[in-house]
Structure 1
């Protein structure tokens, strides 16, 4: 048989376990009440209920089925090369000037210094020049009239 001290110790342990269980149950009930008050205050459940009625859930659409494609049979092809037609255009470099007397000029212009008029320059602006390419074909370069 257990001594009186052992019996008291066992009774104390039972009481402490009972108090802890009751305290945990009370704490859980308090937490549940607090959560319920928060959801009531914020109106989350009402909003979720309304959204469930108003906004239908999205339906997942599958991708359209692709028709299977048949394989392409192996083929052997031949082709005949045809060279592009010769256009005959273009220049054969170098370009040379045979006769400098064939140069043409616009009417000469004069530039005078603006402040005192002491310096004056006469310019002969080139109008055109005749050149010969390496194929002995003659060509002319025409310049625009300066302003």
Structure 2
């Protein structure tokens, strides 16, 4: 039967053998990692994995024309604008008819407005059209809706 000293010696030798294999493998791995780091092999592999090859350009397939009229370039007649700009030129002035009266048109029927308690009533004849003249001399009609028909 082995003595306790022999048992301790055998255990120490077994631990040393197990550590020696692991440390040798780790030393080899560390050496390979240093070589790879110095040469940049890992970075090149990583970049090549990220970069995809450019796609090949292919032309689109030809589409047969549909319908009775083939495609053609558009044509049109150009008409120059009538004025220098769009919109109404300020200031607006009210046009007067012969005799100095304003050019206004009213709705034929009057409109009656009542107060909330129907104690007061006001009847008016609402304005339908008011014609003004802008700074360029063009007529600008204003057409109003009937009040209360909102």
Q: What band does the TM-score fall into relative to the shorter chain?
A: 0.3 to 0.5
Larger radius of gyration: 1
Instruction: Tell me the TM-score normalised to structure 1 length.
Output: 0.42
Instruction: Tell me the TM-score normalised to structure 2 length.
Output: 0.41
